[in-house]
Structures are given as C-alpha cells and as structure tokens.
Chains A and B, each alone.
Chain A
C-alpha cells in the first residue's frame, strides 16, 4: 500500500465519528479564530472542560517550525522519546495490523518500528507542513490532517494507538483520552508519552524570579502540565484498564537561556496558552539568564533543561484480560501464613 497524503479527513460511510461533539464539519480544521471560542462553549457542556490553549496558534507555530530550513536539528527530543515509545511497543509481543499515531508530526516513532510489529500506520497531526515532511518508514503510512481532540475515525478501529509529545497541548484531555479509547478495538492498547510534572522547571523558575525582581509580578511563560498522580485518574476515567504509568527524565544541556527558548520554538513547542504574555522585556531576559546560570548552571557553564516525560500504557477492556477476583472467592486465608513451613531440601546427600 503506498503512502499518500490524505488532506481531507476519512469519511467512514454512514458511521458516526468517534468525536462525540457532533457534526462532520467539526473535523475540518477551522480557519477562523471564532471557532476556537465556539469549541470552548460546546466543550463546557461536557462538564466544565478548560480552554487553556489556543489551538489555532499551536497549528501556526507548528507550521512555522516545519517551514524552517534546518528544522531537523530540533528533532532530538522527539526522536529520543519516539524511540522509547517504540521500545514499549516492542515490549508487547503482538503484531498490530492497524495503528494510529496521534500528533505524530514528522513520524518519530515509526522509524523505530518494523513491519512485523505494525502492519499499517495512520499518522495524524494538526499541521499540514509537518505531515508533508514526515519521514518514510518501511511501514505503509497514511497521513491524515486531524486535530487530536476531534479524531475522525470510527469506533473499534485500531489495535494500537501511540502518541508522543503532543497530548500536552490538548485542551480537553479527558475527552481526547476517551476518544482514543473509543477508536481502539477491545483488547487494543494505547501507549502515550507526554511531557508533564516538572518539565522545564528551571526555565519557569528563572523567568518567574526575574520577572518578579525586575517588573514586580510575573505571568506564566511555561504551559501547565499534568502531574503523574493525575494521569492514572485520567486514564481510568477514560475507560482504560491495566494501566501503567512511569516517569522518565530527559535532561538536555544548553549554552544559555536564549538557546533553550530558540530550540523550544524550533520544536514547535512555543507557548500557546491564552493567558501567555506575548513579550519578554530585554531586562527580564538578561536577569533570567543570570539567575538560570547561577541557580541551575553546570560546572562547565552550560545550563540544564529538564523534560519530565510521562509514559502511559492503557488497554481497552476485553474478556480475555485478567480481572480482579470476585469477593468471597478466596480459598486460602491469611491466617494460614503461619502454617507455611520452610521448604524442605528434597536432595538427601
């Protein structure tokens, strides 16, 4: 099967889309900014979801990052995390006929996977230019332009859904996880990696201290992240079972704060929260660089930036999966523990 770019979203004949928010027109990426506000209004009906990020701005940032001539130099983080997600896919000894990579960008995971593990891959992203630059892998890939919060796929379609470093820009994370659970087949698995918790805490603290000292107050420059403890709840509420969550720290050393911010921009990870301040004063940048170097700097003069990556594995329930035992079905008692004797040595010498 040759890979092709599907710019228009897949339309399953006559079947309802996985996105619970209604009509097909939602799936085509809205061009005007009013759509973003409307999305928030319709989402609020689902129990007060937040509208934290400007999705339109994120798309523009990703398009800009993809248009950079030497953009590949910023791919190191995504490649590293993509490799670790692929490791987790290999840990599951199964062949997945159909897989979905959400927010896959230039396809950093498929490069590490082989055709025996994944037979067909759908790659989605909000940015068309990023999709066009996606790397060829041996797995036949279909590239689909779609928003992570409005997956245009039928229920019970995929055996495997992966997502690497794109869930942290989603407004309605519970809803998105629920949609992922819906597009999975029973006994399908979702393996995700998202930045969370203490990511970029050095940058956040340096900017906060610098702004407080120079300007008298501070505004958030680093977007809010999900804590590890919340992830289990989120996955459980979305309907996943047999959850596994673990945390990995990736620390990257940079020469200075300007390089940190340039690289984040180049990765397409610029801040797009609605409440972001759109400028940094020169004095604040100077102060932040001094604080960053002094508080967190290494001996050789470089500064570390921490990316705390949360990896999550969740399964869609299926009868074949092990269930917790029924109450009252125990046939041994804890009281019998004392009766257990030491194992006797049967080899008499």
Chain B
C-alpha cells in the first residue's frame, strides 16, 4: 500500500513513542513499581489499581507529545 493511509500515519506516530517515553522515565518507573508490587503482594491485580500513577504517566506523555508537535 503506497501513499499516506491510516496504517502509515499510525506507524509514523508510533515511531515517536520511544523518544517521548524517554522523557517520562520517572513516572513510568513509579507506575511500573506499582504494578510490580501487585505481583508479589497478596492482592491480585485488578483494573485501575494503579490508575493514579498511570494518569501521571499519561499526562507526562501527552505533554511530551505536544511539545514535540510544536
């Protein structure tokens, strides 16, 4: 498939992912630790158990993307 379509555009966006992620290493580590803690703890991992940490990560990520787009 040549030319610009949904797949090429989304692939282009995904290419920026590692760079943007690198700017949010702190939030990512916090979220990762929260989830990793549930694997060793007695409670099973459920939906949104680490929602707060994830929101922080996602906000950081979106801001990084907005800065990149500027």
Contact = CB atoms under 8 A, between A and B. Distances in A.
A73 B47 CA distance: 38
Contact of B47 (A212, A256, A286, A291): A212
Contact of B58 (A216, A259, A283, A294): A283
A242 interface: no
A213 B47 contact: yes
B32 A293 contact: yes
Given A212-B45, A293-B29, A283 B36 contact: no
A295 B58 CA distance: 19
B67 to A, nearest CB: 17
Interface string B13-26: 01001100100000
Interface in A268-318: 283, 285-287, 289-295
Contacts of A216: 46-47
Given A209-B39, A290-B57, A214 B47 contact: yes
A289 B58 CA distance: 12
Contacts of B27: 290
Interface size class of A (residues with CB under 8 A): 20 to 34
Nearest to A289: B21
Contacts of A6: none
Interface centre among B17, B31, B32 (most CB of A within 10 A): B32
B28 A212 contact: no
Given A258-B18, A289-B28, A293-B28, A212 B39 contact: no
Contact of A286 (B29, B46, B57): B57
Interface residues of B, number: 23
A209 B47 contact: no
A287 B54 contact: yes
Interface centre among A212, A213, A283 (most CB of B within 10 A): A213
A210 B51 CA distance: 11
Contacts of B29: 290, 293-294
Interface of A: 209-210, 212-216, 255-256, 258-259, 283, 285-287, 289-295
14 contacts: A209-B39, A210-B35, A212-B46, A216-B46, A256-B21, A258-B14, A285-B17, A286-B54, A286-B61, A287-B35, A290-B27, A290-B29, A291-B35, A295-B32
Given A213-B47, A286-B57, 20 more contacts: A210-B35, A212-B46, A213-B35, A213-B45, A214-B48, A215-B47, A256-B17, A258-B14, A258-B17, A287-B35, A287-B54, A287-B57, A289-B17, A290-B29, A293-B29, A294-B29, A294-B32, A295-B32, A295-B35, A295-B36
